[in-house]
């Protein structure tokens, strides 16, 4: 779950654009090759960025949340999206594959431990990775928390968010027969994996448009049309993960395992008016995580590029940089 409709509003808070000093395609097995890059200081504090979606991919703007003189910034496109190949592939593509991919990256880059930075689905992945490898994470920085629970999916695909955006919700639901409205994730799944590429693109765009329209607090409920290949990959991967409960062992798994990361310092930046990932999840993990700080941003929604969200994330990373270098 993630999209960036307001990047122009946020650039005033970001570091200037930089280019990677390392770019490569990494063979992670099962026929998958993922895009990996490093930028900033090669000898700096390592931080890996988990992008949203699933299926959103990285963007050059993600490098700009970190002081490049301090941080060794590691970005990767998760399986099936962005520059990773095969594009839009859901085979051998689960949360546990992604956790293993992150460990492969860490070992390849000869990093003992690192900061993990993630928002939306990226926060989910960051938390699952940290709970799986708690000795490899020095800090967690999360934004727009999503815990991959059935209640969160029901909020966004069962009509909860639609009560705030009824006209946008109607467009999303109108594409499938009314007798399938009781399970829209399943209804879209049948069409996103129909084998008819034209149909998959059409429903991919509709799936993406529903989410993108609600990402920003500045939204008017209308989003631009995403490129067909991007929308198809994004929607297929999200739907694949959501249809399978994120491949977690049980509903509520992340919250139940917060004790495994109690020792890891964390910062949670959450938009007060996040329609995609409401603040309850951020508040719930904060209560179970005494070593965390929760920053609730007024007048902000979900997107990484919300001005208030961007400002708080840059401020957080600058404060951590000062602590680590003094």
Catalytic residue, candidates 39, 89, 120, 216? 120
Between CA 160 and CA 290, with CA 271 as vertex, the angle to 5 degrees is: 105
Show Cβ contacts of residue 182 under 8 Å, excluding neighbours closer than 6 positions. Answer: none
Catalytic, 59? Answer no
Nearest to 93 by CA among 259, 282, 233: 233
In order of 141, 295, 304, the CA distances from 320 in angstroms are 10, 15, 19
CB 136 within 8 A of CB 114: yes
Catalytic, 274? Answer yes
CB 100 within 8 A of CB 133: no
The Cα–Cα gap between 230 and 158 comes to: 24
Exposure of 90 by Cβ count < 10 A (0-12 exposed, 13-18 middle, 19+ buried)? buried
Q: Report the b/e string of 206-219 with b at 16+ CB within 10 A.
A: bbbbbbbbbbbbeb
Helix (H) or strand (E) holding 36: strand 32-40
The Cα–Cα gap between 165 and 185 comes to: 18
Catalytic residue, candidates 51, 189, 302, 310? 302
Catalytic residue, candidates 274, 286, 292, 305? 274
Catalytic, 120? Answer yes
Catalytic residues: 120, 274, 302
């Amino acid at each position: 779950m993630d999209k960036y409709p307001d990047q122009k509003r946020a650039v005033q808070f970001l570091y200037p654009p930089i280019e990677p000093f390392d770019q490569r395609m990494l063979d992670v097995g099962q026929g998958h090759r993922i895009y990996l890059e490093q930028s900033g200081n090669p000898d700096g504090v390592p931080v890996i960025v988990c992008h949203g979606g699933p299926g959103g991919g990285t963007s050059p703007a993600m490098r700009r949340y970190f002081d490049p003189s301090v941080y060794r910034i590691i970005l990767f496109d998760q399986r099936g999206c962005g520059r990773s190949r095969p594009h839009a592939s859901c085979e051998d593509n689960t949360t546990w594959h992604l956790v293993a991919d992150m460990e492969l990256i860490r070992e390849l880059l000869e990093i003992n431990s690192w900061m993990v930075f993630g928002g939306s689905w990226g926060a989910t992945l960051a938390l699952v990775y940290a709970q799986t490898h708690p000795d490899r994470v020095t800090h967690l920085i999360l934004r727009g928390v999503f815990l991959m629970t059935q209640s969160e999916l029901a909020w966004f695909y069962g009509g909860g968010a639609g009560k705030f955006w009824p006209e946008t919700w109607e467009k999303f639901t109108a594409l499938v027969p009314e007798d399938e409205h009781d399970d829209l994730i399943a209804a879209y799944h049948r069409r996103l994996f129909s084998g008819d590429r034209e149909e998959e693109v059409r429903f991919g765009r509709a799936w993406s448009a529903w989410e993108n329209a609600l990402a920003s607090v500045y939204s008017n409920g209308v989003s631009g049309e995403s490129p067909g290949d991007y929308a198809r990959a994004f929607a297929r991967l999200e739907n694949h993960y959501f249809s399978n409960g994120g491949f977690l062992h049980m509903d509520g798994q992340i919250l139940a395992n917060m004790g495994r990361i109690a020792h890891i310092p964390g910062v949670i930046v959450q938009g007060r008016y996040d329609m995609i990932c409401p603040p309850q999840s951020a508040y719930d993990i904060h209560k179970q995580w005494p070593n965390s700080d929760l920053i609730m941003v007024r007048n902000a929604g979900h997107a990484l590029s919300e001005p208030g969200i961007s400002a708080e994330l840059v401020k957080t990373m600058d404060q951590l940089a000062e602590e680590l270098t003094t």
